[in-house]
Structure 1
Amino acid sequence: MIVSLPEQKDKTEITGGFSKTGKSYAFEYKTGGKLFSLKVKALDVRYEKLVDYLSKNHFAVRISGDFLTAGFRIRKIRAGQSMESDSLKPVSGDLIKSMVERLRTSQIVIRDNENKKASAITRIPELRDYVWCMEDTLPDNIRDWAYSTLRLLDDDTIGADEKRHAQHALSLMMSVQWKTSFFEPIDPHEARQILDDELYGLEEVKQRVIETIIQINRTHTLPFYGLLLVGPAGTGKSQIAYAVAKILKMPWAVLDMSTVRDPSALTGSSRIYVNARTGRIMDAFVKAGSSNVVFVINELDKADSNTSNGNSADSLLTLFDNLGFTDNYMECAIPTNGVYPIATANDISKISGPLRSRFAVIEIPDYTPKEKKIIFRDYSLPKILKHLGMKPEECSLTESAVNSIIEHFHDTPGCRDLEQAAEHLASHALYEIEATGKKSIRFNEGQVNRILGFD
């Protein structure tokens, strides 16, 4: 941090306090009964909040540093002794020392405040004003529900727990932007490029995916059917799902059905319970901040059907119909015409008929040995090297070494084993480079077999 030069050129330690005028900071101190102000000319982003904290609370601090041509460079900030004659307050020396040391040794992530999601509105007066101002942007049933909830919050005969739940539900509902169901056309060439960037091969699958979602260009609504991607593990089903969300330019939410043991996990619990809460589906709307969401439903066939409350997956049926989804906690039907479901599964026979009928089923075939070789060489290994911060020339394999890997995994479905082999070899190469000072490592077939345990 650099401040303007003090008049006393012999002082390398000054006691005073930070102040803020508009967006500018200054360090003010008194000497000889006179007030001096040193303008902050340069401030490391790591210390912005600290300086703001010190100025808002009028804490007394000691700054020390050295003189430069550009100004006085502050090297240390410590707790200062406040005087009865000034308005500065004492601050804990340990607190300042801890904060300065933590900031000095940390890297700060610069966040884009312009795109930062708005904070939730939670106070009742603010909720009342928000509903009144935003009522024309709300679907009719949500607007009516919101005013009914506000009336409940004003009712003195309603219990505290019920009011608390109602207030929370209203806050959640107002945090979602309820959009129209009009969707802009998609560019089929851009869509194909996004799919090609995500995964290699599967030409027929990519074509079928684009044919399903291209309907938007004429109807300007989401396709009538969602996508059900069925195939062995590791064949790129989830990658396709995320790629479609990018094509549609919509936020996505992930539901992992293998972890859902009861339908209430999806649909929420009734407010009659003290610990009632929303389900994962409503949570996804809130997290996305939008009613237009791609729901990526992983392992739909793994949903637990052996519960007394029924099959958890069947709770999704109303989410896929354009009749509205009702969360038990919210007690209000949520419009679902902006929801596009994409599900993945290994065994389609374990999915109920009514649920399966909501999807266009696309079978994902396993890769051929030739395709696996290209994926390992041109996708998996470069991806791992980039993740490890390595250059392509630092880790390479002979043709016979690559063939040995493909031969070993030729009957293994998917490509996850190939990526794990790439990670093992890249990590081994990185160790050799760091430990021995070698510039690069090129593995032959014998080395690959030994390192990966094929021998």
Structure 2
Amino acid sequence: MTEEKKTRPSVQELPLLPLRGILVFPYMVIHLDVGRERSVSAIDQAMLQNRLIFLATQKEAQTDQPRQEEIYRVGTIAEIKQLLKLPGGTLRVLVEGLARAEILEYLETEPFMQVRAQEHEDVEIKTPAVEAQMRALLTQFEQYVKMSKKIPPETFVTVVAVEEPGRLADIVASHLTLKTLEKQRVLEALDVAERLEILTEVLTKEMEILELERKINVRVRKQMEKTQKEYYLREQIKAIQKELGDKDDRVAESEELREKIAKAKLPKEIEEKALREVDRLEKMPPMVAEATVVRNYLDWLLALPWSKQTKDRMDIDKAEQVLNEDHYGLEKPKERIIEYLAIRKLVQKMKGPILCLVGPPGVGKTSLARSIARALDRKFVRLSLGGVRDEAEIRGHRRTYIGAMPGRIIQGMRNAGSKNPLFLLDEIDKMSMDFRGDPSSALLEVLDPEQNSTFSDHFIEVPFDLSRVMFITTANGMHNIPRPLLDRMETIYIPGYTEEEKLHIATDYLIPKQIKEHGLKKDQIQISENTVRRIIREYTREAGVRNLEREIGSLCRKSARAIVKEPQKKISISSGNLPTYLGIPRYRFGLAETESQIGLATGLAWTEVGGDTLAIEVALLAGKGSLALTGKLGDVMKESAHAGMTYVRSKTKALGIAENFHQSTDVHIHVPEGAIPKDGPSAGITMATALTSALTGRAVRREVAMTGEITLRGRVLPVGGIKEKVLAAHRAGCTTVIMPADNKKDLEDVPANIRRKLRFVLVEHMDQVLPEALLEPEKVEMPEPPETIPALVEAPPLTPLAVPMEEVPGYQQS
């Protein structure tokens, strides 16, 4: 080979064979499998010439047709020693590396790559420094061979016999298991001393890795020996116990579980599942993590009330008595529960109803559910859904997860201890969803009477019957409840309490409860009825009674403090001395305006905490006819204002307003309490009335409140929340309520004592609103209303305010 090397020119034109994931050093003999079309052509060309071929490695092994820049420039000139054709067109080539070379230029790329390569000869000068590097490399290579055990010892004997430094480095590099980038680094080191230094550095790093592997293997082997030893000792203990007649802990645990399963009277399918799990547990080693999971699963299976249930109280009179003891009013929910009991008395097996109690905070939704459970003599379970975002909270986690547990529904059934409890799902409108799933969709199966007899929990994995459970849900509003979920529930709306109802609740329930909770006696504190009425009017403004209870609690606290100082003292709280206990009144009772004013009308609105009044103000300014809307109004409310303006402009002649007012007058509509968002169509007729009042100079009657949606042509459309709005009007001191005629049916929900105190005007058109709402120009105040107010007044027929449609601006007859 030395003679060939001498006769070979230093620059040669050779076919190029790109290598994938492999690198050939000089003096290295290796088999290569060649299958790519260009590579096969390069081999054929080399065989036709002098069997010499240039081998260079690709930078990316995945590239099938590498370009020039994707191949390393330094490679190896090799000689093809043997060629074998394999089935499928693949060639197996035996090559021997001859010398390093560097690509000077690419001559051809098709049908194969042809390059001009510059051969680099090693300068074999053995200086003392090179000799020292060779010895250090041999010492490290010897240690590497001993530690790796992947290289046969005979290889080291062959390597020791090599005297040339460059050849020694190449042979050592060819035997190391290195990454392609590291091998290429060695190949590109043309200087022999540099090559030896790189190899010494690489060998040091490889030996550190081998030492770490050895330590890990020793540690694993010791752990395995310890486990095998423990297993052997346990088997010996089992054999000894068997000879002595003692029971193994696992066997004893399995027998105990089987006895529990037999006593639990589980359904056949559940019993078979439990017994299978016991068999699995018995075969597992006690320390295995899976054994803990199986034990936990069996505990849950046995703790659930598969066949236990309580007997319903079928005495309708007794149930009605219990409901009346706990709550005043709430006739519809009570009536629904009595109906359920009556049906249960006639039909033994009945699917549990799903009731949804909707109402403002503090009206007693949760406490009503607790009272229903007491009336039925059922177990009571409460689950708060506020803020629940994970579907697993409802359906549970699968047992493959660490720390898996059943969902809150199954947990509640276990806590109840019976299969027919009353299950309260509180705040169902406060659920949300995120990337972990949609809990409201998981509730669809729970709250569907047709599906919940086979409710599937991910942890339990067997169907559980929820059909006998009486589900009651609570919500502050229905708009946040998904429509499919709402469809599965029977909605009962609890709008709020009247002043008289609050008075009864405070007298019969809240005051005795707070006196007891504060450690007082009935004869130590006395709160008069007028005091309670003043608290309701001037210290609270709510649909429920939560703040009322807080104020009564405050009275009890202050009384308790005085009684502790003087034990014999008796506290009497009257309407006159109430401010000394609760401070100055927070609200003004009777919010109706003290006098009728121009451009100021009282509207009625619905909120989540009950009804409320809106004072809508209109001011006229000299300008160019712009319309300004303030008070943080929503889009729907702004549209109502524009609709009211259009109606007024269409009636300028009938109302006695200048026809071109919209060109010279700016109109500003404002709804006070500007920090509170307001929206909805209910203020349509109120805005139109206030606008008409400002433009005509006729004052709006101070005792009139109104609600209704307005159209462009003045029609009055029905709105919602009539009961809450009427209660708000009564609370504000209004005596007349103008409302859409289509809402007449909703007056049945208004308590009779409130209906008797108010006068209702049912209207279909804006032309019927204005005569009732506006004073005559010469009048300043309405006379005092008579003592007896007619409960219901049909709207007068259309007044002369109405004009033919032909006179409406922009009207064209089709």
Q: TM (normalized to structure 2)? A: 0.39
Q: Which amino acid aligns with 1:236?
A: G
Q: Which has the higher contact order (CA 8 A, sep 6+)?
A: 1
2:332 pairs with 1:204: yes
Equivalent-residue separation in structure 2 for 1:451 and 1:278 (angstroms): 50
- How far 1:441 sits from its partner (Å)? 0.2
Q: Which residue of 1 aligns with 2:478?
A: 348
Q: Distance in 1 between matches of 2:531 and 2:333?
A: 30
State the match for 1:429 in structure 2. Answer: 559
State the one-letter code of the partner of 2:419: S
1:163 aligned to which of 291, 306, 325: 291
Match of 1:313 in 2: 440
2 CA distance for matches of 1:182 and 1:398? 43
Matched position secondary structure for 1:383:
helix
Deviation at 1:238, TM superposition (A): 1.0
Distance change (3 Å), C-alpha of 1:391 and 1:141: same
1:383 equivalent to 2:513? Answer yes
Please state whether the residue corresponding to 2:577 is helix, strand or coil.
helix
Query: Offset at 1:169?
Result: 1.3
Amino acid at match of 2:436: N
The structure 2 residue matched to 1:264, chosen from 384, 389, 392, is: 392
Give a deviation string over 1:100-132, Cα, whole Å, max 9, x none.
xxxxxxxxxxxxxxxxxxxxxx94431122213
**Kept after mapping to 2: 8 A contact 1:192/1:210:** yes
SS at structure 2 position matched to 1:144:
helix
What's the offset of the Cα at 1:158?
11
Cα RMSD for the two superposed structures = 2.4
User: What residue is the counterpart of 1:126 in the other structure?
Assistant: 256
Is the Cα–Cα contact under 8 Å of residues 352 and 471 in structure 2 kept in the other structure? no
Indicate the structure (1 or 2) with the bigger Cα radius of gyration. Answer: 2
In 1: Cα distance, 2:507 partner to 2:350 partner: 37
The yes-or-no answer on 1:360 pairing with 2:490 is yes
1:341 CA drift (Å) = 0.6
Residues 350-397 of structure 1, C-alpha deviations (whole Å, 9 max, x = no match): 212222222221111210011111211221111111222322221112
Aligned partner (choices 497, 502, 514) of residue 372 of structure 1 = 502
The C-alpha deviation readout for 1:398-439, integer Å capped at 9, x for no partner, is 343222101125631200111111111011111111113343
**Partner residue, 1:22:** none
- Where 2:452 maps in the other structure, the secondary structure is coil
From the superposition, tell whether residues 166 and 404 of structure 1 become closer, same or farther in structure 2 (CA, over 3 Å): same
- Pair 1:228-2:356 in alignment: yes
Counterpart in the other structure of 1:15: none
Structure 1 counterpart of 2:522: 392
1:47-446 matches, within 5 Å, as: 123-134=253-264, 137-156=265-284, 160-179=288-307, 184=312, 186-304=314-432, 306-320=433-447, 321-409=451-539, 411-446=541-576
Task: Give the partner amino acid of 2:438.
Answer: N
Return the offset for 1:180.
Answer: 6.8
CA distance in 2, matches of 1:409, 1:218: 49
1:270 is paired with a residue whose SS is coil
Q: Matched residues in 2 for 1:344 and 1:213: separation?
A: 21
Return the letter of the residue paired with 1:291: K
SS at match of 2:304: coil
Q: Distance in 1 between matches of 2:262 and 2:327?
A: 48
1:348 alignment partner, SS class: coil
- Secondary structure at the residue paired with 1:393? coil
Give the Cα separation in 2 of the matches to 1:409 and 1:325: 48
CA distance in 1, matches of 2:539, 2:493: 22
- Letter in structure 1 aligned against 2:501: E
For 1:251 and 1:334, how far apart are their aligned partners in 2? 18
Partner SS state of residue 406, structure 2:
coil
Instruction: Please state how far the C-alpha of 1:224 moved relative to its aligned partner.
Output: 4.8
Residue identity in the other structure for 1:215: I
Displacement, 1:161?
2.4
Where 2:296 maps in the other structure, the secondary structure is: helix
Change (3 A) 1:180 1:381: closer
SS of equivalent to 1:362: strand
Cα distance in 2 between the residues matched to 1:238 and 1:259: 17
Unaligned runs of 5+ in 2: 1-251, 586-814
Q: Secondary structure at the match of 1:396?
A: strand
Cα 1:400–1:244 shift into 2, 3 Å: closer
The 3-state SS of whatever aligns with 1:295 is strand
CA–CA distance in 2 between the matches of 1:395 and 1:286? 44
CA distance in 2, matches of 1:408, 1:311: 44
Q: Which amino acid aligns with 1:201?
A: G
Counterpart in 1 of 2:718?
Answer: none
> Partners in 1 of 2:549 and 2:313 — Cα distance?
36
Change (3 A) 1:328 1:139: same
* 8 Å CA contact 1:267, 1:279 repeated in 2: yes
**Are 1:454 and 2:594 matched, yes or no?**
no
C-alpha distance in 2 between matches for 1:132 and 1:445: 68
1:157-211 per-residue CA deviation (whole Å, 9 max, x = no partner) reads 9992222112111112212332278965611111111111111112233112322
Percent of pairs with identical residues: 30
Distance 2:337 2:324 in 1: 12
In the alignment, what sits opposite 2:194?
none
Alpha-carbon spacing, 1:359–1:250, altered in 2? closer, same or farther (3 Å): same
Cα deviations by residue, 1:74-114 (Å, 9 ceiling, x for unpaired): xxxxxxxxxxxxxxxxxxxxxxxxxxxxxxxxxxxxxxxxx
Q: Residue type of the partner of 1:368? A: T
Q: Which moved more, 1:427-436 or 1:278-287?
A: 278-287
Conserved? CA contact 1:124–1:167, under 8 Å: no
Shift of 1:344: 0.7
Aligned to 2:91: none
State the TM-score, normalizing by the size of structure 1. Answer: 0.68
Could you tell me which amino acid in structure 1 is paired with residue 525 of structure 2?
C
For residues 251-271 of structure 1, the C-alpha deviation after alignment (integer angstroms, 9 at most, x for no partner) is: 121110004221112222111
Provide closer, same or farther for how the CA distance between residues 402 and 310 of structure 1 changes in structure 2, counting only shifts above 3 A: same
Secondary structure of 1:221 counterpart: coil
